Amino acid sequence: SDSILQFGNNAYGKPSAALHILRDTILGREQFDHALKTFSQRWKFKRPTPSDFFRTMEEASGTDLDWFWRGWFYTTDHVDISLDRIYRLRLDTEDPDIDFTRSRQEEEDKPVKVGVKLDKEAGVKPWVERHPDITDFYDENDIFTVTNKERNKYRKFLKELEGWEREALERAVKEDKNYYVLEFSNLGGLVMPILLSMEFKDGRTERLNIPAEIWRRNPKKVRKLIVLEKGEELVAVTVDPDWETADANIDNNSYPRKIIPSRIESYKEKRSGFSRRDIMHDSKTKLEKDDEKDKNEPTESDR
Protein backbone atom coordinates (compact mmCIF):
# COMPACT_ATOMS: atom_id res chain seq x y z
CA SER A 1 0.00 0.00 0.00
CA ASP A 2 1.12 3.55 -0.70
CA SER A 3 -0.56 4.78 2.48
CA ILE A 4 1.95 4.85 5.32
CA LEU A 5 -0.80 5.48 7.88
CA GLN A 6 -2.60 2.28 6.90
CA PHE A 7 0.50 0.24 6.10
CA GLY A 8 0.20 -1.92 9.20
CA ASN A 9 -3.45 -2.75 8.62
CA ASN A 10 -2.98 -3.45 4.91
CA ALA A 11 0.22 -5.46 5.32
CA TYR A 12 -0.64 -7.41 8.46
CA GLY A 13 -4.19 -6.90 9.69
CA LYS A 14 -6.13 -7.49 6.48
CA PRO A 15 -4.11 -10.53 5.25
CA SER A 16 -4.31 -12.07 8.71
CA ALA A 17 -8.08 -11.59 8.85
CA ALA A 18 -8.40 -13.00 5.33
CA LEU A 19 -6.52 -16.20 6.17
CA HIS A 20 -8.50 -16.69 9.38
CA ILE A 21 -11.76 -16.33 7.45
CA LEU A 22 -10.49 -18.65 4.72
CA ARG A 23 -9.60 -21.32 7.28
CA ASP A 24 -12.55 -21.09 9.65
CA THR A 25 -15.41 -20.08 7.35
CA ILE A 26 -14.66 -20.63 3.66
CA LEU A 27 -12.65 -23.87 3.41
CA GLY A 28 -12.80 -25.36 6.86
CA ARG A 29 -9.79 -26.17 9.02
CA GLU A 30 -9.06 -29.63 7.67
CA GLN A 31 -9.08 -28.55 4.03
CA PHE A 32 -7.14 -25.35 4.73
CA ASP A 33 -4.47 -27.11 6.78
CA HIS A 34 -3.97 -29.71 4.05
CA ALA A 35 -3.61 -27.01 1.40
CA LEU A 36 -1.20 -24.97 3.52
CA LYS A 37 0.90 -28.05 4.22
CA THR A 38 1.02 -28.79 0.49
CA PHE A 39 2.19 -25.23 -0.19
CA SER A 40 4.92 -25.49 2.47
CA GLN A 41 6.23 -28.76 1.07
CA ARG A 42 6.04 -27.66 -2.56
CA TRP A 43 7.79 -24.33 -2.07
CA LYS A 44 10.26 -25.00 0.73
CA PHE A 45 13.70 -23.46 0.14
CA LYS A 46 12.25 -21.50 -2.81
CA ARG A 47 10.93 -18.01 -3.37
CA PRO A 48 7.17 -18.24 -3.95
CA THR A 49 5.17 -15.22 -5.00
CA PRO A 50 1.63 -14.46 -3.83
CA SER A 51 0.25 -15.97 -7.03
CA ASP A 52 2.12 -19.21 -6.28
CA PHE A 53 0.45 -19.33 -2.88
CA PHE A 54 -2.96 -18.65 -4.40
CA ARG A 55 -2.61 -21.34 -7.08
CA THR A 56 -1.33 -23.97 -4.66
CA MET A 57 -4.13 -23.33 -2.18
CA GLU A 58 -6.72 -23.72 -4.94
CA GLU A 59 -5.14 -26.87 -6.38
CA ALA A 60 -4.70 -28.57 -3.01
CA SER A 61 -8.16 -27.67 -1.73
CA GLY A 62 -9.93 -28.24 -5.04
CA THR A 63 -11.82 -24.97 -4.60
CA ASP A 64 -12.07 -21.98 -6.93
CA LEU A 65 -10.99 -19.02 -4.80
CA ASP A 66 -10.44 -16.38 -7.48
CA TRP A 67 -13.18 -14.21 -5.99
CA PHE A 68 -11.55 -14.42 -2.55
CA TRP A 69 -8.00 -13.49 -3.61
CA ARG A 70 -9.26 -10.68 -5.81
CA GLY A 71 -11.28 -9.05 -3.06
CA TRP A 72 -8.96 -9.50 -0.12
CA PHE A 73 -5.55 -9.00 -1.74
CA TYR A 74 -6.01 -6.99 -4.94
CA THR A 75 -8.60 -4.39 -3.94
CA THR A 76 -9.22 -1.96 -1.11
CA ASP A 77 -12.84 -3.10 -0.77
CA HIS A 78 -14.28 -4.18 2.55
CA VAL A 79 -17.12 -6.44 3.66
CA ASP A 80 -20.47 -4.76 4.19
CA ILE A 81 -23.46 -6.89 3.21
CA SER A 82 -26.81 -5.27 3.90
CA LEU A 83 -30.11 -7.12 4.24
CA ASP A 84 -32.36 -4.50 2.66
CA ARG A 85 -35.80 -6.08 2.57
CA ILE A 86 -37.80 -9.26 3.05
CA TYR A 87 -41.20 -9.80 1.50
CA ARG A 88 -43.52 -12.76 1.66
CA LEU A 89 -45.22 -14.35 -1.34
CA ARG A 90 -48.17 -16.71 -1.59
CA LEU A 91 -49.27 -18.67 -4.62
CA ASP A 92 -51.97 -17.04 -6.73
CA THR A 93 -54.26 -20.05 -7.14
CA GLU A 94 -56.64 -18.42 -9.67
CA ASP A 95 -59.45 -19.98 -7.62
CA PRO A 96 -61.74 -17.06 -6.66
CA ASP A 97 -63.06 -18.82 -3.56
CA ILE A 98 -59.50 -19.03 -2.23
CA ASP A 99 -57.94 -15.82 -3.52
CA PHE A 100 -60.87 -13.54 -2.68
CA THR A 101 -61.03 -14.95 0.85
CA ARG A 102 -57.33 -14.20 1.32
CA SER A 103 -57.77 -10.69 -0.06
CA ARG A 104 -60.64 -10.02 2.34
CA GLN A 105 -58.53 -11.21 5.27
CA GLU A 106 -55.65 -8.96 4.21
CA GLU A 107 -58.05 -6.01 4.08
CA GLU A 108 -59.43 -6.82 7.53
CA ASP A 109 -55.90 -7.02 8.96
CA LYS A 110 -55.21 -3.41 7.98
CA PRO A 111 -55.56 -0.72 10.69
CA VAL A 112 -59.04 0.68 11.16
CA LYS A 113 -59.52 4.20 9.80
CA VAL A 114 -59.09 6.78 12.52
CA GLY A 115 -62.54 8.29 11.91
CA VAL A 116 -64.26 4.92 12.27
CA LYS A 117 -62.23 4.20 15.40
CA LEU A 118 -63.14 7.52 17.03
CA ASP A 119 -66.83 7.08 16.17
CA LYS A 120 -66.81 3.64 17.75
CA GLU A 121 -65.16 4.96 20.91
CA ALA A 122 -67.73 7.76 21.08
CA GLY A 123 -70.59 5.30 20.61
CA VAL A 124 -71.63 6.75 17.26
CA LYS A 125 -73.14 4.06 15.04
CA PRO A 126 -73.07 4.23 11.23
CA TRP A 127 -76.21 5.47 9.51
CA VAL A 128 -76.97 2.04 8.06
CA GLU A 129 -76.86 0.40 11.49
CA ARG A 130 -79.24 3.00 12.88
CA HIS A 131 -81.61 2.62 9.91
CA PRO A 132 -81.55 -1.02 8.72
CA ASP A 133 -84.48 -0.42 6.39
CA ILE A 134 -82.28 1.54 3.96
CA THR A 135 -79.74 -1.25 3.36
CA ASP A 136 -79.20 -2.32 -0.24
CA PHE A 137 -77.21 -4.87 -2.24
CA TYR A 138 -73.85 -3.23 -1.61
CA ASP A 139 -74.29 -3.33 2.15
CA GLU A 140 -74.47 -7.12 2.05
CA ASN A 141 -71.77 -7.60 -0.60
CA ASP A 142 -68.34 -6.10 -1.19
CA ILE A 143 -65.55 -6.26 -3.76
CA PHE A 144 -64.49 -9.62 -2.36
CA THR A 145 -67.82 -11.32 -2.98
CA VAL A 146 -67.34 -14.25 -5.37
CA THR A 147 -69.78 -14.56 -8.27
CA ASN A 148 -70.39 -17.38 -10.71
CA LYS A 149 -68.68 -15.35 -13.40
CA GLU A 150 -65.34 -15.75 -11.60
CA ARG A 151 -66.04 -19.43 -10.93
CA ASN A 152 -66.80 -20.10 -14.61
CA LYS A 153 -63.60 -18.31 -15.60
CA TYR A 154 -61.63 -20.51 -13.19
CA ARG A 155 -63.17 -23.70 -14.60
CA LYS A 156 -62.28 -22.61 -18.12
CA PHE A 157 -58.73 -21.91 -16.95
CA LEU A 158 -58.41 -25.45 -15.55
CA LYS A 159 -59.70 -27.04 -18.77
CA GLU A 160 -57.03 -25.28 -20.82
CA LEU A 161 -54.20 -26.68 -18.69
CA GLU A 162 -52.21 -29.75 -19.62
CA GLY A 163 -52.55 -32.75 -17.36
CA TRP A 164 -49.18 -32.28 -15.69
CA GLU A 165 -49.81 -28.53 -15.30
CA ARG A 166 -53.10 -29.11 -13.52
CA GLU A 167 -51.52 -31.75 -11.30
CA ALA A 168 -48.68 -29.38 -10.37
CA LEU A 169 -51.12 -26.55 -9.64
CA GLU A 170 -53.32 -28.72 -7.45
CA ARG A 171 -50.29 -29.97 -5.52
CA ALA A 172 -49.01 -26.42 -4.99
CA VAL A 173 -52.42 -25.22 -3.82
CA LYS A 174 -52.69 -28.14 -1.41
CA GLU A 175 -49.19 -27.61 0.00
CA ASP A 176 -49.75 -23.83 0.32
CA LYS A 177 -46.08 -23.13 1.04
CA ASN A 178 -44.70 -19.77 2.14
CA TYR A 179 -42.22 -18.02 -0.13
CA TYR A 180 -39.86 -15.37 1.24
CA VAL A 181 -37.62 -13.22 -0.96
CA LEU A 182 -34.56 -11.73 0.73
CA GLU A 183 -32.86 -8.76 -0.93
CA PHE A 184 -29.17 -8.08 -0.24
CA SER A 185 -26.83 -5.22 -1.19
CA ASN A 186 -23.06 -5.42 -1.33
CA LEU A 187 -22.19 -1.97 0.02
CA GLY A 188 -18.54 -2.70 0.79
CA GLY A 189 -17.70 -4.14 -2.62
CA LEU A 190 -16.01 -7.31 -1.34
CA VAL A 191 -18.07 -10.41 -2.16
CA MET A 192 -18.42 -13.01 0.56
CA PRO A 193 -20.70 -15.92 1.43
CA ILE A 194 -23.93 -14.81 3.07
CA LEU A 195 -24.31 -16.47 6.46
CA LEU A 196 -27.87 -16.30 7.77
CA SER A 197 -29.61 -16.97 11.04
CA MET A 198 -33.37 -17.31 10.55
CA GLU A 199 -35.85 -17.01 13.41
CA PHE A 200 -39.34 -18.48 13.14
CA LYS A 201 -42.60 -17.66 14.86
CA ASP A 202 -42.55 -20.91 16.85
CA GLY A 203 -39.19 -19.94 18.40
CA ARG A 204 -36.97 -22.11 16.23
CA THR A 205 -33.70 -20.83 14.78
CA GLU A 206 -32.02 -22.21 11.67
CA ARG A 207 -28.74 -21.41 9.93
CA LEU A 208 -28.32 -21.07 6.17
CA ASN A 209 -24.99 -20.47 4.41
CA ILE A 210 -25.28 -19.08 0.89
CA PRO A 211 -22.07 -19.54 -1.17
CA ALA A 212 -20.26 -16.50 -2.55
CA GLU A 213 -21.20 -17.61 -6.07
CA ILE A 214 -24.58 -15.96 -5.52
CA TRP A 215 -22.84 -12.66 -6.46
CA ARG A 216 -21.65 -14.03 -9.81
CA ARG A 217 -24.32 -12.37 -11.98
CA ASN A 218 -24.56 -9.12 -10.04
CA PRO A 219 -21.88 -8.17 -7.47
CA LYS A 220 -23.97 -5.28 -6.14
CA LYS A 221 -27.46 -6.66 -5.48
CA VAL A 222 -28.87 -10.18 -5.20
CA ARG A 223 -32.06 -11.92 -4.14
CA LYS A 224 -32.56 -15.25 -2.42
CA LEU A 225 -35.79 -17.24 -2.38
CA ILE A 226 -36.57 -19.14 0.82
CA VAL A 227 -39.35 -21.76 0.58
CA LEU A 228 -41.01 -22.82 3.84
CA GLU A 229 -43.69 -25.34 4.60
CA LYS A 230 -47.26 -24.35 5.40
CA GLY A 231 -47.45 -22.95 8.91
CA GLU A 232 -43.78 -21.95 9.07
CA GLU A 233 -43.56 -18.19 9.46
CA LEU A 234 -40.32 -16.24 9.27
CA VAL A 235 -40.08 -13.37 11.77
CA ALA A 236 -36.43 -12.22 11.68
CA VAL A 237 -33.20 -12.78 9.75
CA THR A 238 -29.64 -11.82 10.72
CA VAL A 239 -26.63 -11.72 8.40
CA ASP A 240 -23.34 -13.02 9.81
CA PRO A 241 -24.69 -13.56 13.35
CA ASP A 242 -21.33 -14.78 14.71
CA TRP A 243 -19.23 -12.04 13.04
CA GLU A 244 -17.30 -14.52 10.89
CA THR A 245 -16.84 -12.44 7.73
CA ALA A 246 -15.41 -9.17 9.13
CA ASP A 247 -18.53 -7.22 8.17
CA ALA A 248 -17.69 -3.55 8.78
CA ASN A 249 -21.24 -2.43 9.56
CA ILE A 250 -23.54 -4.63 11.62
CA ASP A 251 -26.30 -2.01 11.75
CA ASN A 252 -27.74 -3.24 8.43
CA ASN A 253 -27.31 -6.96 9.12
CA SER A 254 -30.73 -7.58 10.65
CA TYR A 255 -34.28 -7.46 9.36
CA PRO A 256 -36.30 -6.09 10.94
CA ARG A 257 -33.70 -3.62 12.15
CA LYS A 258 -32.44 -3.96 15.73
CA ILE A 259 -31.80 -1.20 18.23
CA ILE A 260 -28.05 -0.56 18.29
CA PRO A 261 -26.65 0.08 21.80
CA SER A 262 -24.39 3.11 22.22
CA ARG A 263 -23.23 5.49 24.95
CA ILE A 264 -23.55 9.13 25.97
CA GLU A 265 -20.36 10.73 27.24
CA SER A 266 -20.64 12.48 30.59
CA TYR A 267 -18.03 15.03 29.57
CA LYS A 268 -16.69 15.86 26.16
CA GLU A 269 -12.99 15.32 25.87
CA LYS A 270 -10.61 16.80 23.37
CA ARG A 271 -9.05 14.00 21.42
CA SER A 272 -6.04 14.51 19.24
CA GLY A 273 -5.42 11.53 17.03
CA PHE A 274 -5.64 7.94 18.18
CA SER A 275 -4.73 7.19 21.80
CA ARG A 276 -3.75 3.68 22.81
CA ARG A 277 -3.85 2.36 26.37
CA ASP A 278 -0.70 0.82 27.80
CA ILE A 279 -2.35 -1.81 29.97
CA MET A 280 0.95 -3.42 31.05
CA HIS A 281 2.22 -0.09 32.37
CA ASP A 282 -1.11 1.06 33.80
CA SER A 283 -1.63 -2.19 35.72
CA LYS A 284 1.39 -1.30 37.91
CA THR A 285 -0.20 1.95 39.07
CA LYS A 286 -1.12 1.97 42.75
CA LEU A 287 -4.62 2.92 43.81
CA GLU A 288 -4.70 6.31 45.53
CA LYS A 289 -6.29 6.52 48.96
CA ASP A 290 -8.85 9.16 49.79
CA ASP A 291 -6.64 10.90 52.40
CA GLU A 292 -3.68 11.03 50.00
CA LYS A 293 -5.91 12.52 47.38
CA ASP A 294 -7.20 15.13 49.83
CA LYS A 295 -3.64 16.27 50.64
CA ASN A 296 -3.13 17.33 47.06
CA GLU A 297 -6.31 19.39 47.03
CA PRO A 298 -6.00 23.12 47.96
CA THR A 299 -7.15 24.17 51.46
CA GLU A 300 -9.34 27.13 52.34
CA SER A 301 -6.27 29.24 53.24
CA ASP A 302 -4.65 28.46 49.90
CA ARG A 303 -7.74 29.68 48.14
DSSP string, the chain: ---STTHHIIIIIHHHHHHHHIIIIII-HHHHHHHHHHHHHHSTTS---HHHHHHHHHHHHT---HHHHHHHHS---B--EEEEEEEEE------HHHHHHHHHHHHHTSPPPHHHHHHHHHTPPPHHHH-GGG--HHHH--TT---HHHHHHHHHHHHTS-HHHHHHHHHHHHH--EEEEEEEEESSB----EEEEEEETTS-EEEEEE-GGGGSS-SSEEEEEEEE-TT--EEEEEESTT--S--S-GGGSEESPPPPP----SS-----S-----HHHHTTPPPPPHHHHHHHS--TTT-
pLDDT at 43: 96
pLDDT given for residue 270 in this prediction: 58
From residue 244, give the alpha-carbon distance in Å to each of 73, 84, 241.
18, 20, 8
Residue-wise pLDDT for 52-77, tens only, equals: 999 999 999 999 999 999 999 998 89
Query: What is residue 271's predicted lDDT score, i.e. its pLDDT?
Result: 56
Is the CATH number 2.60.40 carried by domain 81-88+177-255?
yes
pLDDT at 1: 46
Q: Domain spans of the chain?
A: 7-73, 81-88+177-255, 92-175
* b/e code 286-301 from CB counts within 10 Å (16+ = b): eeeeeeeeeeeeeeee
pLDDT digits (tens, 9 = 90+) for 113-140: 999 999 999 999 988 888 888 888 888 8
Q: What is the predicted pLDDT for the residue at 150? A: 95
Between CA 65 and CA 284 the distance in angstroms is 48
Q: Which residues of the chain have pLDDT under 50?
A: 1
